[in-house]
Amino acid sequence: MREELIEREIEEVLGLRERREKDSELYKIANEVFDRTTKETLAYLHRRGKIEELYGVISTGKEANVFAGIDGEGRRVAVKIYRTYTTEFRRIWEYLAADPRIGYLPKDMRKLVFQWTRREFKNLQRAIKYAVRAPEPIAFRNNVLVMEFIGDESPAPRLKDIEKSLSKEDFEELYSYLIGTIERLWKRGDMVHGDLSEYNVLLWDSPVIIDWSQATVKRNRMSVELLKRDLRNVISYFARKGVDVDDYDEKLRELLG
């Protein structure tokens, strides 16, 4: 009986009772990634009004899929669902093991993914605390993270997707904003994003930085390498766009003090 109730709730979350789009991209991806744990988690969040319905796919990946959804009050949300069994096990383990905020690491892969999801929620909270524009975290449970939806009818585009339509002045403003973000995170928030690039910046009312799963604190032994990665990515990308960028070595020395 409980299984039947959960299946009915998942049908409601996917809107299948009304649409019956069983050949849709949403339905196909749901079949691939919605194992029992995920279904139970979505049903739990559905009962609490955090997710009323999923209506589209924003992005897909080896580690997670992001869906567009609506909450119980009719507001748009983004729902990130991590795969409970992922080929990224080694990478996730290494990142969590190095993070001083994480205590005991479970050997069970599902529970490790739950830790990973919780950490991204906390990273988003910390970034926003230090005035970095990121999706507001709304709720999380197990391998599901509910966040602010960035966009209007459609998701906001990534920098990489619309770079050809931008002017040199646009790139200069974006470079200044992202370098300022790296500095603010490191100096004020004792934090680093760790995967900052043109693929993780949405252009909306202001640039919005996404994908905070690998972000960590300065006390992490990996933090300096992650800081170097962010600086290198940002400086190299904008240099290719004709922006007068900072010297990488000088900027790194400035940040490390």
Annotated catalytic, 246?
Answer: no
Which residue among the candidates 35, 108, 170, 211 is catalytic per the annotation? 211
DSSP letter, residue 155: B
Inter-axis angle of helices 25-33 and 2-14, to 10 degrees?
150
Place of tokens 């796919």: 57
The answer for residues whose C-beta is within 8 angstroms of residue 4's C-beta and 6 or more apart is none
Number of Cβ atoms within 10 Å of the Cβ of 257: 6
Q: Give the pLDDT means over successive 10-residue stretches in the chain (257 positions).
A: 66 60 67 84 94 90 91 96 79 89 85 94 96 97 98 95 97 98 96 97 96 96 97 98 97 96
Per-residue model confidence (pLDDT) at position 17: 47
Strand partners, 79: 67, 146
End-to-end CA distance of the chain: 61
Output the DSSP codes for 24-35: SHHHHHHHHH--
Which residue among the candidates 195, 205, 244, 249 is catalytic per the annotation? 195
Annotated catalytic, 195?
Answer: yes
Q: What stretches of the chain show up as alpha helix (H) in DSSP?
A: 2-14, 16-19, 25-33, 36-47, 89-98, 109-129, 159-162, 168-187, 223-240, 248-256
Place of tokens 């209506």: 55
Give the pTM: 0.91
Place of tokens 């240099």: 239
Per-residue model confidence (pLDDT) at position 154: 92
